[in-house]
Copies of this chain bind each other. A is one copy, B any other.
Amino acid sequence: MSKQVLILKGDHIGPEIVDESLKVLRKVDEQFGLELVFEEGLLGGAACDAVGEPCPDETLEKARRSDAILMGSVGGPEWDGLERHLRPEKGLLKLRSGLELFGNLRPAILYPQLAEASSLKPEIVAGLDILIVRELTGGIYFGEPRGIRVLENGEREGYNTYKYSESEIRRIGKVAFEAAMVRDRRVCSVDKANVLEATVLWREIMEEVAKDYPEVELSHMYVDNAAMQLVKAPKQFDVMVTGNMFGDILSDAAAMLTGSIGMLPSAALDKNGKGLYEPCHGSAPDISGQGLANPLATILSAAMMLRYSLNAPDAAVAIEEAVSRVLDQGLRTPDIHTEGTRKVSTSEMGDAVLAAL
């Protein structure tokens, strides 16, 4: 039973880091007899340049018939001048929404080998392992009405709508509780229920979902406090679940706590387990084409893909262990390089993972 994997290399460092991940995927494909079939598609600036829109229908079609999608990163200053609906980011949003990839898993893990990289004191972050579950196809990102209108007094007003229905909240809640069941069994739901009605309902439904998971402890935190607690004592968290906008902010803050955002993978899942996998970091135009990018976040995204969408957990573990071994060997791309370790290029890092498999 072969598995279809769509590859979306994207922009700038995207192709570089995806190429390394493909090497690794091909190797575990052989080793574990996975019968992976790869197909390529266009997304982001690359798609704008080639066909004039950031997520062509053909890409959406290919994604629909794939079992999983591995993406590099999209965007860059050369497309900033385009009309808003043609920008690379809009392609990503269309893909997430078109495939209903509502369940975004964003782990923030500090690898013991990289403890030095964090801007936080070692005792605050050593052993950090948080999973942020972000709702990805609703909330203020997609709420209508939205736009810029002219008011009666003649001045303009920009407006967006933040909304969540019970079923949208329930399904992301379940993702968080299921994830907590195989972790430390604690879910912290983040909202602003003291101000926003949309999140009053969020809190209520999370309480409801929690009833089906008596082994999991549910707590609630306001988003401003959550941002503080992430800085003060991040290890207090196991799973955090929140809406699209708050999740965007908190997951980036959490990722940066580790000091090595070049290491962090992510998954965006639909209700059947199909998923889009991408590194947490962006397309890094400033270092593209120079072999400076860290391919590990994408390689680890490929591992997540094997685990969550391709039913190949052994292959996932093999990749994760290979990455750990390479770190033990002291190999580092420039973003995670510190004194006493060996600086390597994007492809040298990919080759090292390959050799460690």
Contact = CB atoms under 8 A, between A and B. Distances in A.
Contact of A228 (B151, B165, B253): B253
B245 A192 contact: yes
A20 interface: no
A41 to B, nearest CB: 22
A224 B251 CA distance: 8
A199 B253 CA distance: 21
Interface of A: 84, 87, 89, 93, 119-121, 124, 140-141, 143, 146-148, 151, 155-167, 192, 194-202, 223-225, 227-233, 245-246, 248-253, 255-257, 259, 261
Nearest to A118: B121
A272 B148 CA distance: 29
A171 to B, nearest CB: 12
Residue of A228, A251, A257 with highest tally of chain B CB at under 10 A: A228
A227 B250 contact: yes
28 contacts: A119-B124, A120-B120, A121-B121, A140-B162, A140-B196, A146-B197, A148-B197, A148-B200, A155-B166, A157-B165, A158-B201, A159-B161, A159-B162, A160-B161, A160-B163, A160-B198, A223-B249, A224-B248, A227-B227, A227-B256, A228-B252, A228-B253, A228-B256, A228-B261, A231-B256, A232-B256, A246-B249, A253-B253
B228 A159 contact: no
Contact of A253 (B143, B192, B202, B231): B231
B231 A257 contact: yes
Given A119-B120, A201-B148, A162 B163 contact: no
A89 B166 contact: no
How many copies of this chain?
Answer: 2
Contacts of A228: 252-253, 255-256, 261
Nearest to A226: B249
Contact of A197 (B120, B147, B252): B147
Nearest to A196: B160
A188 B354 CA distance: 43
Nearest to A151: B165
A119 to B, nearest CB: 5
A130 to B, nearest CB: 14
B155 A167 contact: yes
A262 B89 CA distance: 40
Contacts of A157: 163-166, 201
Residue of A155, A196, A200, A249 with highest tally of chain B CB at under 10 A: A249
Contacts of A224: 248-249, 251-252
Nearest to A164: B158
A95 to B, nearest CB: 14
A64 to B, nearest CB: 24
Nearest to A163: B159
Contacts of A201: 148, 156-158
A233 B252 CA distance: 14
Nearest to A234: B119
Nearest to A168: B157
